[in-house]
Amino acid sequence: MGTLQQFMPNVTPGSAATAHRSADYGSIQPKGSYIAVALVVAASLPEFGINYTIGAAPAAPLTASNIVAALKDLAYKGQCWFLGNGLVNGKAAKPTERKASQTYGSESAPRPTGEVAEKVEFMVRDTFANVDFWNSLRAGALGPLDVYLFTNTTVQVIRYASEAPVFDGIGYELSGNFEQDIPGGFSISWNKANGQIQPVKGISMAGLKFETLRYTFAVATPAPTNLALVAGTTNRYNMVTGTAAKIKRAVNEGGAVRYSIFKNGSDDIPTAELVTIDSDTGEVTIGSAMPLGRYVYTVAAENTCGVYGTWTLEVIVK
């Protein structure tokens, strides 16, 4: 015959699983919306408390204070789709509790088994502009994913290995109102054997802003060819006609990126302007027969997860 402890859970008095804590008045509490979500290649990050290396920093335990930095590092490396604060609104109803198949004795209702089914619904600002991405998610083409859900102060992790999140409700609708944007979004649902996912506290809301996930660029290396930096500026160069010019600035954060170049921010470069870019290295070449004048170009870098960054190149050909 088995021992009593084989039938009873470990409910050590004072343990985290049995304590009910009350927050002090005036303390910052989680708000009623998920304001950011990260979809991550499954098993890219360990559990909280396990050592992990972020970028070039030394290995350190993964905590709420560095989880956003870890996710952004993965996003730069093409392993995380980070939809930050300002892009999404997420809501969740109470979980559906799994229950015993019938009542026993004098019970008034079947008892909960401890397992729950949960669902979060997200509205996403740029759904219509990213149909290819959402089709890939719908078809499972992104592969197994872990999910990180953020409120203003907390994070919860849905693991592919244990909760197997399902993505559905993907898409957008047009209301027929010209004055409205095009709303869209998706849902995440999962089962968990031992109740709802415990939120981990300690998130800084400032780090969740979507604008903070941008590539930055190193100084020009090697030194530019036939481009003399104008004194007092950081991106304006003089070029002497008759000799080709070159300049290359790589992204600081690393990862596999594709570089492109535009005129005046977003326009195609006219054929007469002899400007090209190496899409793998980011090196810009300006032909020796470049017409005299002042030109402004935008160099962009983007990876497969949609993380991007830009820098401006102004050239005065004399």
Q: How confident is the model at residue 290 (pLDDT cuts 50, 70, 90)?
A: very high
Phi, psi at residue 134, to the nearest 5°? -70, -35
- Same domain? 179 vs 301: no
> CA-CA distance, 207 to 218, in Å (whole number)?
22
In this structure, is residue 50 part of a structural domain?
yes
Residue 258 near residue 309, CB atoms below 8 Å = no
- Same domain? 103 vs 170: yes
Instruction: Taking residues 290-294, report their average pLDDT.
Output: 97
Sole residue written with tokens 């089709």: 135
Question: Which domain-ending residue is among 181, 212, 243?
Answer: 212
In this structure, is residue 261 part of a structural domain?
yes
State how far Cα 121 lies from the chain centre.
Answer: 17
Where in the sequence is the domain holding 240, given as residue range(s)? 228-317
Each residue's pLDDT tens digit, 236-271:
999 999 999 999 999 999 999 999 999 988 899 999
Q: What is the pLDDT of residue 7?
A: 44
> CA-CA distance, 258 to 251, in Å (whole number)?
10
Each residue's pLDDT tens digit, 21-68:
777 777 789 999 999 999 999 999 999 999 999 999 999 999 999 999
- Same domain? 105 vs 248: no
Instruction: Tell me the pTM.
Output: 0.90
- Same domain? 52 vs 188: yes
Q: Which of 90, 91, 96, 135 is nearest to 112 (CA)?
A: 96
- Same domain? 205 vs 239: no
- Same domain? 146 vs 208: yes
At 313, which CATH number? 2.60.40.10
Q: What is the pLDDT of residue 6?
A: 42
Domain count across the chain? 2
Phi, psi at residue 205, to the nearest 5°? -65, -30
- Same domain? 259 vs 129: no
State how far Cα 60 lies from the chain centre.
Answer: 21
Each residue's pLDDT tens digit, 74-131:
999 999 999 999 999 999 999 999 999 999 899 899 999 999 999 999 999 999 999 9
- Three-state DSSP at 115 gives strand
Question: Which domain-ending residue is among 212, 242, 274?
Answer: 212
pLDDT over threshold 80, residue 13: no
In this structure, is residue 283 part of a structural domain?
yes
